[in-house]
């Protein structure tokens, strides 16, 4: 059997060890390599390993890279299914094979003796030669492999050859939900290994919260001395324990002590974080405090280079996470580039470090043949977890080891856990697939419903072992498209039950790949088998622009909560460790969204888990609707945000809207020249539909219930998709029958029945228009007629206004979009945007951009002329240059082409979002059920400057 189909872990590499740098010489071999892709091993050129082989006609390829993202072959996306026959350990004969060659010289001062060639990641299997000699074969794509090469090196003209196969036996263990793409995708480095140097080390540093003492002992070779100058430690024999007063490390206070490990031959810089992870009383604790995990699942993704993620991009992720109140990361579903974990140490994020393992495709076969229970794969499983733990063991940010993802259960997983328990008892083991928690230390679920979390929180589980473990959701809040909805309710449960310690939203980033004018997803590369846009389910867009989902999540998990209290303003500290001393509290008073005063709020330092109430500041009196917004911001800069970075805010209503003025006299309805005129409005006499307002040509408003379905509306995880039920009912093609247009006297009353073809049910919609000088009042009365099935997408009006009205301004919820179950981040204020800027560019187009709780809004042309709508008291709106139908039909953002009108929706209600794309649907309280509804809107034209 070829090495490609060997289920074992590869061959020839050195035992795994920690990732670290030292003062020993190192040479990066990243850069331009020669490259040739062959459709199969059989078709690959012979003799590539030979030093004399002529590669001058080959292409150049950057290393690190995934070749499919550089014009060689094409990426392919599947979630669960393997894109090849499930015939383990065999792989297709048409196995794309990429030959990589690099000629390199050593620097003049390169020392003789031992040297190690390190590959941080080769996807999926590489055969490696140096100067014609085979070094070995790698498997385990997102894990390092090292080879001893000292005896083979020469000062110049070294030839390094790596033959990479897209598929290998290892591919069966790498069925993660992501792009299939291949290559030497992480760094390649040559490391001189001085005799008497430091081969490996493990800084075992702990913190005793009862005494304030830290302990440190370094497991390493002989004659290594430890120095931690800041702690007065010099020349300390590394292997001997030390105990001394220290400041602990936590994600909130990522205190690291710089030190060195040294022998006569080598110095290794170390950054030591003192912290102790324990499980006690059914809770996961660090330094004695239970954690609340406000986490995300992070895949490594860049829209141009795929899983090749630069240090700058890794830093961008960490900074974005910290700035959005995220405190934890699960490295789904493989160990990340080691640089990422160092950043987690530096800036403070709790990490579940997950092994590179997933065999999900076997689920489609009822798990028959799953490697997790097959002894042929035991060594590969053990090899993978060893390489994970050994590489990352020095990272204080890593608090749990995860065996992998969605590989069912089996003896090989149990063996992995056993190995970890033995090797590193200081960190608990996580694996969601061990449903009985037979070999893991925490109870983990993915996409548990709110009800399930509640049950777990109440400890109503009859599995006694599981019941008594800390509980976390390794995945929840599926962030696909518009959503997730329901995060607030999860937070409430996590806070109610001490054993529920939060979780990790799925997932951090949309894996869209940059294409001409849009981001591509599954199927865009001609894949025969693919899972479409299921790979677009992140809190940030592919270019790392935060989506509304991230803004909502940041608000829901904010570490300080600011709310109204009968005695003033209540400030609750929801940090796990720190007090609020680092924060400055400021207030702004706005009258109808216009600032009238601001100041600093005096708040005593509040301890973690405590709250205080402070009196309201002295405020000037206001007459219109006024809100006091209190914000908590960092007083000085941190490593991850500038001074003034806001972590939390709250709003208190100060004064209500002015009482309505007495209405002026009503104006009459009259007919003239075939038109119906009422105040500033002109109506079509046959349909009663408004056709002009103050000289602006309009169409509508008319009753409208459809929205371009979201991924969650179409989701199949919570019973039959809402979208399917809506379509079946015909809600996307309602017809309007005019019953009467009654235009006598002072009101225009239009009675209609709005109903889908082929159905007996419908909605009566009665519109009553009244003119008060320049304003038109519209009362809408909606009455279901017949047995109305299920929910409605939305309930409101649709209206088209001239395309020149391209600017929007409103007083209400904003600045971003909001939906009933995802609206915590909308504050009341006055906002403005271009109509184009109101769109959220979901990679797969769908309903978006709804502004909620709007008191009034206006849409104007460049001269300021346009249309204003006032709520009575509030409404929701969208404004876009395409119809809901066009939005629904689009597959990529650049399919959306502007009409010559602006389409408005003016709504009284929307169905929530939920997370049925993978998880529970819309919670009952956010479902929109047809019922008798009345609402009022006021329309008027606004003059230009
Ligand atoms: C989970 C899986 C993730 C991802 C997610 C859906 O089952 O662990 O990798 O596929 O579902 O987006």
HEC string of 728-761 equals: HHCHHHCEEEEEEEECCCCEEEEEEEEECCCCCC
Atom of ligand 1 nearest to the CA of 507: 12
Residue 760's contacts (CB-CB under 8 Å, 6 or more residues apart) are 786, 787
d(CA 417, CA 388) in angstroms, rounded, equals 13
817 given a catalytic annotation? no
Helix ranges (DSSP H) in 361-511: 378-392, 411-423, 450-457, 464-467, 487-496
Q: What's the rounded mean pLDDT across residues 379-406?
A: 98
d(CA 127, CA 895) in angstroms, rounded, equals 44
Which residues are registered as beta bridge partners of 203? Answer: 218
Which residues are registered as beta bridge partners of 216? Answer: 205, 242
Q: At which residue do the structure tokens 């002015």 appear?
A: 658
pLDDT above 70 for 10: yes
| Domain assignment present for 416 | yes
Atom of ligand 1 nearest to the CA of 480: 12
Q: Which helix (H) or strand (E) holds 312?
A: helix 311-323
pLDDT of 673-706, one tens digit each?
A: 889 999 999 999 999 999 999 999 999 999 999 9
Residues 145 and 74 in one domain: yes
| Domain assignment present for 693 | no
Q: How much distance in Å is there from the Cα of 444 to the middle of ligand 1?
A: 14
Q: How much distance in Å is there from the Cα of 535 to the middle of ligand 1?
A: 9
pLDDT of 303-342, one tens digit each?
A: 999 999 999 999 999 999 999 999 999 999 999 999 999 9
Q: How much distance in Å is there from the Cα of 647 to the middle of ligand 1?
A: 29
Q: How would you classify the pairing of strands 500-505 and 293-297?
A: parallel
pLDDT of 894-922, one tens digit each?
A: 999 999 999 999 999 999 999 999 999 99
Which residues are registered as beta bridge partners of 284? Answer: 279
Q: What's the rounded mean pLDDT across residues 711-717?
A: 97
Beta carbons of 260 and 267 less than 8 angstroms apart = yes
Residue nearest to atom 10 of ligand 1 (CA): 177
Atom of ligand 1 nearest to the CA of 534: 12
What CATH number is associated with residue 179? 2.60.120.260
pLDDT above 70 for 893: yes
DSSP state, residue 375: G
Q: How much distance in Å is there from the Cα of 506 to the middle of ligand 1?
A: 7
5 given a catalytic annotation? no
Q: Mean pLDDT in the chain?
A: 97
Asked which of 256, 278, 300 is the last residue of a domain, the reply is 278
3-state helix, strand, coil in the chain (%, to 5): 15, 40, 45
d(CA 99, CA 113) in angstroms, rounded, equals 29
Beta carbons of 404 and 358 less than 8 angstroms apart = yes
| Domain assignment present for 671 | no
pLDDT of 826-853, one tens digit each?
A: 999 999 999 999 999 999 999 999 999 9
- Edge-to-edge strand list for the sheet holding 26-28: 26-28, 188-192, 115-119, 145-148
Residues 893 and 794 in one domain: yes
Side-chain-facing half-sphere of 565: CA atoms under 13 Å: 15
| Domain assignment present for 476 | yes
Is residue 563 packed enough to be buried (19+ CB in 10 Å), middle (13-18) or exposed (0-12)?
middle
pLDDT above 90 for 481: yes
Q: What Cα–Cα distance (Å) separates residue 764 from each residue in 349, 877, 931? A: 55, 22, 11
| Domain assignment present for 751 | no
Q: How much distance in Å is there from the Cα of 80 to the middle of ligand 1?
A: 9
Q: What's the rounded mean pLDDT across residues 649-659?
A: 94
Residue span of the structural domain in which 625 resides: 559-655
d(CA 596, CA 574) in angstroms, rounded, equals 31
Verdict on whether the full-model pTM lies above 0.85 = yes
Residues 526 and 382 in one domain: yes
Q: Which of 354, 406, 552, 847 is catalytic?
A: 406
Enumerate residues lining ligand 1, CB below 6 A.
Answer: 79, 177, 333, 405-406, 446, 475, 478, 506, 534, 537, 918
Q: Which of 5, 342, 475, 558 is catalytic?
A: 475
Beta carbons of 611 and 570 less than 8 angstroms apart = yes
Cis omega (within 30 of 0) for bond into 507 = yes
Asked which of 529, 555, 581 is the last residue of a domain, the reply is 555
Residues 546 and 563 in one domain: no
What CATH number is associated with residue 829? 2.70.98.10
Which among 354, 431, 475 is the best mutation to test ligand 1's pocket, defined by most ligand atoms within 8 Å of the CB? 475
Q: How would you classify the pairing of strands 681-683 and 675-678?
A: antiparallel
| Domain assignment present for 616 | yes
Atom of ligand 1 nearest to the CA of 333: 9
Residue nearest to atom 3 of ligand 1 (CA): 177
| Domain assignment present for 775 | no
Residues 27 and 89 in one domain: yes
What confidence score (pLDDT) does residue 676 get? 95
Q: How much distance in Å is there from the Cα of 509 to the middle of ligand 1?
A: 13
pLDDT of 191-209, one tens digit each?
A: 999 999 999 999 999 999 9
Q: What's the rounded mean pLDDT across residues 18-35?
A: 98
Residues 270 and 305 in one domain: no
What confidence score (pLDDT) does residue 660 get? 86
What confidence score (pLDDT) does residue 826 get? 98
Residues 432 and 364 in one domain: yes
| Domain assignment present for 22 | yes
Q: What is the number of domains present in the chain? A: 5
Residue nearest to atom 2 of ligand 1 (CA): 177
Residues 135 and 244 in one domain: no
What proportion of the chain, given as a percentage, has pLDDT over 90? 98
pLDDT above 90 for 179: yes
pLDDT above 80 for 1: no
pLDDT above 80 for 460: yes
Least confident among 433-437, 657-661, 740-744: 657-661
Residue 219's contacts (CB-CB under 8 Å, 6 or more residues apart) are 201, 202, 204, 239
Residues 181 and 238 in one domain: no
Which among 77, 78, 79, 717 is the best mutation to test ligand 1's pocket, defined by most ligand atoms within 8 Å of the CB? 79
Token digits of residue 47: 């003799």
Atom of ligand 1 nearest to the CA of 406: 8
Which among 403, 507, 535, 918 is the best mutation to test ligand 1's pocket, defined by most ligand atoms within 8 Å of the CB? 918
Q: 853 in helix, strand or coil?
A: strand
Q: How much distance in Å is there from the Cα of 917 to the middle of ligand 1?
A: 11
Token digits of residue 419: 């190995």
Q: At which residue do the structure tokens 């390794």 appear?
A: 474
Atom of ligand 1 nearest to the CA of 332: 9
Residues 361 and 449 in one domain: yes
Asked which of 503, 532, 555 is the last residue of a domain, the reply is 555
What CATH number is associated with residue 356? 3.20.20.80
Residue 912's contacts (CB-CB under 8 Å, 6 or more residues apart) are 485, 486, 819, 820, 821, 822, 922, 923, 926, 927, 928
What CATH number is associated with residue 626? 2.60.40.10
Token digits of residue 330: 């699960």
Q: How much distance in Å is there from the Cα of 853 to the middle of ligand 1?
A: 34
Residue nearest to atom 11 of ligand 1 (CA): 918
Atom of ligand 1 nearest to the CA of 176: 9
Q: At which residue do the structure tokens 């199949």 appear?
A: 716
d(CA 258, CA 268) in angstroms, rounded, equals 11
Residues 862 and 814 in one domain: yes
d(CA 881, CA 12) in angstroms, rounded, equals 61
Which among 78, 174, 175, 177 is the best mutation to test ligand 1's pocket, defined by most ligand atoms within 8 Å of the CB? 177
Residues 357 and 399 in one domain: yes
Q: 30 in helix, strand or coil?
A: coil
What confidence score (pLDDT) does residue 661 get? 87
């Amino acid at each position: 059997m070829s090495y490609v189909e060997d289920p074992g872990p590869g061959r020839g590499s050195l035992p795994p060890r920690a990732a670290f740098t030292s003062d020993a010489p190192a040479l990066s071999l990243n850069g331009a390599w020669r490259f040739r892709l062959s459709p199969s091993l059989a078709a690959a050129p012979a003799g590539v390993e030979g030093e004399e082989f002529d590669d001058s006609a080959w292409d150049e390829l950057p290393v690190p890279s995934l070749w499919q993202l550089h014009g060689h072959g094409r990426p392919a996306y599947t979630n669960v299914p393997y894109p090849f026959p499930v015939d383990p350990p065999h792989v297709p004969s048409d196995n794309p094979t990429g030959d990589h060659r690099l000629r390199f010289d050593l620097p003049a001062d390169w020392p003789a003796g031992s040297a190690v060639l390190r590959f941080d990641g080769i996807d999926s299997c590489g055969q490696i030669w140096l100067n014609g000699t085979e070094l070995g074969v790698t498997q385990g794509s997102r894990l390092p492999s090292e080879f001893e090469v000292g005896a083979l090196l020469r000062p110049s003209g070294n030839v390094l050859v790596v033959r990479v196969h897209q598929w290998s036996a290892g591919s069966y263990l790498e069925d993660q939900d992501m792009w299939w793409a291949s290559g030497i995708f992480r760094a390649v480095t040559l490391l001189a290994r001085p005799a008497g140097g430091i081969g490996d080390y493990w800084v075992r540093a702990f913190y005793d919260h009862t005494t304030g003492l830290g302990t440190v002992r370094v497991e390493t070779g002989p004659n290594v001395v430890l120095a931690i100058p800041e702690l007065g430690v010099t020349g300390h024999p590394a292997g001997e324990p030390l105990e001394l007063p220290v400041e602990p490390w936590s994600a909130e206070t990522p205190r690291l002590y710089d030190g060195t490990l040294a022998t006569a031959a080598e110095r290794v810089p170390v950054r030591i974080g003192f912290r102790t992870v324990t499980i006690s009383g059914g809770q996961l604790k660090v330094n004695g405090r239970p954690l609340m995990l406000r986490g995300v699942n992070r895949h490594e993704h860049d829209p141009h280079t795929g899983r090749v993620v630069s240090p700058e991009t890794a830093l961008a992720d960490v900074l974005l996470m910290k700035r959005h109140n995220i405190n934890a990361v699960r490295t789904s579903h493989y160990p990340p580039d080691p640089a990422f974990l160092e950043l987690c140490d530096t800036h403070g994020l709790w990490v579940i470090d997950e092994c590179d393992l997933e065999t999900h495709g076997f689920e489609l076969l009822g798990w028959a043949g799953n490697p997790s229970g097959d002894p042929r794969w035991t060594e590969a499983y053990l090899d993978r977890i060893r390489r994970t733990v050994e590489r990352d063991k020095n990272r204080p940010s890593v608090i749990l080891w995860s065996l992998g993802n969605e590989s069912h259960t089996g003896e090989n997983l149990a063996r992995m856990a056993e190995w970890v328990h033995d090797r590193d008892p200081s960190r608990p083991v996580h694996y969601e697939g061990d449903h009985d928690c037979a070999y893991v230390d925490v109870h983990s679920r993915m996409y548990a419903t709110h009800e399930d979390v509640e049950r777990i929180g109440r400890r109503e589980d009859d599995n006694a072992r599981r019941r008594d473990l800390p509980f976390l959701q390794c995945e929840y809040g599926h962030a696909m498209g518009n959503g997730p909805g329901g995060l607030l309710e999860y937070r409430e449960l996590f806070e109610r039950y001490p054993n529920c310690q939060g979780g990790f939203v799925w997932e951090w980033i949309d894996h869209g790949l940059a294409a001409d004018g849009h981001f591509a997803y599954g199927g865009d590369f001609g894949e025969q088998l693919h899972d479409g846009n299921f790979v677009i389910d992140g809190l940030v867009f592919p270019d790392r622009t935060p989506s509304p989902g991230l803004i909502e999540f940041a608000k829901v998990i904010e570490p300080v909560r600011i709310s109204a209290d009968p005695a003033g303003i209540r400030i609750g500290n929801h940090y796990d460790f720190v007090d609020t001393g680092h924060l400055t509290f400021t207030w702004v008073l706005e009258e109808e969204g216009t600032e009238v005063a601001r100041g600093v709020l005096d708040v005593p330092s509040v301890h973690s888990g405590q709250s205080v109430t402070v009196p309201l500041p002295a405020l000037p009196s206001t007459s219109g609707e006024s809100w006091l917004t209190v914000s908590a911001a960092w007083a000085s800069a941190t490593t991850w945000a500038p001074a003034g970075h806001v972590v939390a805010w709250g709003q208190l209503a100060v004064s209500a809207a002015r009482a309505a003025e007495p209405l002026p006299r009503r104006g009459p309805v009259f007919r003239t020249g075939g038109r119906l005129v009422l105040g500033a409005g002109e109506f079509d006499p046959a349909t009663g539909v408004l056709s002009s307002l103050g000289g602006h040509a309009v169409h509508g408003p008319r009753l409208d219930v459809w929205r371009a379905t979201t991924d969650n509306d179409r989701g199949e995880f919570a019973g039959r998709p809402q979208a399917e039920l809506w379509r079946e009912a015909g809600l996307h093609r309602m017809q309007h029958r005019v019953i009467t247009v009654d235009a006598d006297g002072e009101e225009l009353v239009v009675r209609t029945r709005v109903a889908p073809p082929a159905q007996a049910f419908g909605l009566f919609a009665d519109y009553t228009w009244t003119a008060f000088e320049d304003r038109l009042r519209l009362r809408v009365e909606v009455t279901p007629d017949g047995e109305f099935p299920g929910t409605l997408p939305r309930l409101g009006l649709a209206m088209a206004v001239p395309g020149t009205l391209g600017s929007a301004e409103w007083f209400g919820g904003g600045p971003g979009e909001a939906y009933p179950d995802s609206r915590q981040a909308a504050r009341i204020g006055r906002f403005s945007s271009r109509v184009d800027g109101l769109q959220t560019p979901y990679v797969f187009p769908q309903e978006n951009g709804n502004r909620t709780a709007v008191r009034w809004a206006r849409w104007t042309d460049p001269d300021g002329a346009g249309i204003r709508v006032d709520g009575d008291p509030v409404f929701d709106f969208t404004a876009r240059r395409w119809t809901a139908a066009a939005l629904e039909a689009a597959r990529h953002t650049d399919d959306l082409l502007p009409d010559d009108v602006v389409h408005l929706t003016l709504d009284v209600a929307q169905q929530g979002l939920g997370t049925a794309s993978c998880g529970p649907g819309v919670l009952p309280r956010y479902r929109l059920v047809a019922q008798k509804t009345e609402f009022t809107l006021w329309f008027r034209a606004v003059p230009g400057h």
